[in-house]
Amino acid sequence: MASPKDNFKALQKKWYSKLKKEGFEDIEQDEENLKVWSQVFFGKHSIEQIQAKQAYYQMATNFLEEYPFETERDRIIWEYHANGISAREIVVLFKKIKIKINFMKVWRLIKKHRVKMYQMYMEPHEPYTE
């Protein structure tokens, strides 16, 4: 009797053969590596844009640690946002744990906290002196 691994290899070989006959060319060398690394991301984004995005998410992480959120839900939504998760994906994550929230609610919370974050870090403040 063939092992599950042998069955998988035979099935994989069969489908790779079918794909090759139809002209499909795999971009992967193996399961971990591409044949050719793409420059698409760096071609679309300048170094300045990449650095600005990094700075934004670092600021968002700092805000997460320093800002007193009104509710635990608000803090969790901001944490997801600070980790680069989109508002739509956040809604999906909440639905998976049976918490009903809609896209506009999440989007407004992110927008509200983004304004507060910019006020906290980017507006000039009087220096603190005693």
| Mean pLDDT on 22-43 | 71
Question: What are the helix and strand counts (H, E) for the chain?
Answer: 6, 0
Q: Where are the domains of the chain?
A: 47-122
Mean pLDDT of the chain: 87
Who's near 111: CB < 8 A, 6+ residues apart? none
How many of the other CB atoms lie within 10 Å of CB of 105? 16
For residue 74 the two structure tokens come to: 């608000």
Judged against a pLDDT cut of 90, whether residue 91 lies above it is answered with yes
Lowest pLDDT segment from 31-35, 51-55, 69-73, 87-91: 31-35
- Whole-number Å distance between alpha carbons of 92 and 123: 34
> What gap in Å lies between CA 84 and CA 57, rounded to an integer?
8
Nearest to 63 by CA among 74, 49, 52, 48: 74
For the entire predicted model, the pTM comes to 0.63
Helix (H, G, I), strand (E, B) or coil at 34: strand
Residue 125 is predicted with a pLDDT of 67
